[in-house]
């Protein structure tokens, strides 16, 4: 009997200018995260597949608000086609290492990368299954929102899931602590 082979993917969540310093919904440390992830994937990283996700809002309904509650509604961000919605310039430098790009949230709120599709309409889970991925590392922005949601969906899909916490940044300490507990309870490994 042939040994089982495991393929690991890296999912880079929402590393876009809109979520980095100077962006419309900036997370402190976002630019550092972008640089550190670019350094990781520029070397001999060992991933069978690297996938990026992007908020790509065309008309996300009440996800955008003039008076946002920062729970269910937010100021406009990740507007499709805008420079802020593009991949972070540090990732653009290593774009040849990225195997797939997934966009989410075109017409509704979307936190998890598993709510997104490639340009040809292929869902993230199908991209991973087609590549025979069994394990994922999740990195990006923000740890307590879209990284959290993506990692939870990955484990629900039966993937061995790890978050590389040092390659993330959080919006706030309280939501980061809550996210850590939720992820650990779900069986996600947190690598600090």
Active site residues per annotation: 14, 104, 146
- Residue written as token pair 């990195």: 139
Burial (0-12, 13-18, 19+ Cβ within 10 Å), 89: middle
Q: Which two tokens stand for residue 75?
A: 């100021």
- 13 Cβ neighbours under 8 A, 6+ residues apart: 53, 113, 138, 139, 140, 141, 146, 147, 150
At residue 129, the 3 state secondary structure works out as helix
> How many other CB atoms are found less than 10 A from the CB of residue 125?
17
Query: 45 in helix, strand or coil?
Result: coil
10 Å CB burial of residue 124 (0-12, 13-18, 19+) is buried
Q: Are strands 160-169 and 189-191 parallel, antiparallel or unpaired?
A: parallel
């Amino acid at each position: 009997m042939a040994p089982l082979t495991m393929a690991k993917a890296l999912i880079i969540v929402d590393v876009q200018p809109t979520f980095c310093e100077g962006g419309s919904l900036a997370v402190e440390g976002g630019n550092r995260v972008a640089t550190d992830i670019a350094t990781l994937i520029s070397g001999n990283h060992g991933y069978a597949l690297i996938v990026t996700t992007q908020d790509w809002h065309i008309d996300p309904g009440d996800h955008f608000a003039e008076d946002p509650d920062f729970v269910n509604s937010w100021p406009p961000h990740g507007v499709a086609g805008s420079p802020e919605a593009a991949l972070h310039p540090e990732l653009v430098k290593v774009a040849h290492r990225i195997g797939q790009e997934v966009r989410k949230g075109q017409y509704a709120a979307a936190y998890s990368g598993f709510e997104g599709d490639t340009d040809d309409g292929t869902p993230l889970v199908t991209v991973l299954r087609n590549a025979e991925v069994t394990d994922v590392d999740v990195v990006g922005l923000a740890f307590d929102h879209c990284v959290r949601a993506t990692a939870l969906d990955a484990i629900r899909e039966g993937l061995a899931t790890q978050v590389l916490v040092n390659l993330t940044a959080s919006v706030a300490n309280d939501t980061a602590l809550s996210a850590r507990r939720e992820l650990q309870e779900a069986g996600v490994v947190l690598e600090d």
